[in-house]
Amino acid sequence: MKKNNIALPPGGKADRDIITAIDANQTAMPLRPQLNVGIVLWPEFPLLALAGLTDALRHAADMGDDSQKIRCSWRLMSATPEQPVLSSSGMAMMPDSAFVTPEQFDYIVVIGGLLRSMAKADPAARRYLHLAHQRNIPLVGVCTGSFVLAQEGFLQGLTAAVHPWHLNDFKTQFPLLTARTGVDFHEEKGILTCPGGISTIGLATELIRRHCGPDRATKAIFQMSVPNRIDGTSVAVSRAIGFTHVSDSRLRKAVFLIEKGLVKPISTQWLAAEVNLSPRQLTRLFNAEFSQSPGEFIRSARLRYAHWLLINSGESVTEIALRLGFSDCAHFIRMFSREFGCTPGDCRNTRINAAPSGAAFDG
């Protein structure tokens, strides 16, 4: 997977100024959330896993700290929404609603509970997961949510990311399945598994990066005070596309200039001069950090912005192509298809057709 980091302005700005700088990159509010997550809680679920997921979404969702579901939305669902779900700490959470049609979500996340309570969940929850899978909605198993996915047959032939504490239990219960530890999450064929704990933040920020862009992921990890751990022992900041991962101040400034000038012509020569490097030195830094040349990074950043415009604006494909400096529409379509695996028109049509209907799921 490519690394795509966003940087913050160099220097010692105050925390509020940093968040303001991130939010200032947003040119318009989206017409609807770019990332929609449905959450299913198993009895005696861990609060930290739920908090890590929802707080990351909350910080990425709006400007400042107003907790508005603008760019991201989330919903706690249950077969019995009038009854609270007890966490492993004894605190309870009230669901937002009954199960709704899976197509309303980009992901369905099941947060598992203590192993002693795995059989206590309402059977409708398991049926809902099967319905989502049948309709090609990616499933995410957090903490012992991987056990739930394994029990329902979703992990056949796949690898699950589990917590070291649960590794032996997983191998005992599912001897034919493969498990791994030491990663924030594992993704394979539309199924994601996460060991829980603070690794949930790494998972959440990667989903935010994919759907909302690197600036939103950066804001989430900054607001949540994610430490600068580039050794891979904690939250995978490189996957979170966090500004903390860019340790070289010259590279930080270069990336910030790119992010601020997506609609302006930017050459490697100009960028190198701005950070007091030769083009060759700058290219070496970009290749070491992102596995991309400066030109490739600039093009990728513009294509991500184009993806956002296709979903959240009424501009035509041609208008977006010209706005972002592509030589012609055909060139833009070719580059976009190579980056995202679909044409700009297909991207826009898929999002329109996936708009939520509000219909309920009959479990």
Q: Tens of pLDDT along 193-207?
A: 999 999 999 999 989
Per-residue confidence (pLDDT) for residue 225, from 0 to 100 = 74
Considering only residues 257 and 119, tell me which one the structure prediction assigns the higher pLDDT: 119
Is the pLDDT at 24 greater than 60? The verdict is no
Name the CATH superfamily, with its identifier, for domain 31-214.
Answer: Class I glutamine amidotransferase (GATase) domain (3.40.50.880)
Strands, sheet with 191-194, edge to edge from the N-terminal-most edge strand: 72-77, 35-41, 107-111, 139-142, 191-194, 186-188
Name the CATH superfamily, with its identifier, for domain 242-348.
Answer: Homeodomain-like (1.10.10.60)
Q: Phi and psi dihedrals of 160, rounded to 5?
A: -110, 140
Average pLDDT, the chain: 83
Per-residue confidence (pLDDT) for residue 157, from 0 to 100 = 96
Instruction: Please tell me whether residue 105 adopts helix, strand or coil conformation.
Output: coil
Q: Over range 285-292, report the average pLDDT.
A: 90
C-alpha to C-alpha distance for 239 and 4, rounded to whole angstroms:
8
Domain boundaries, the chain: 31-214, 242-348
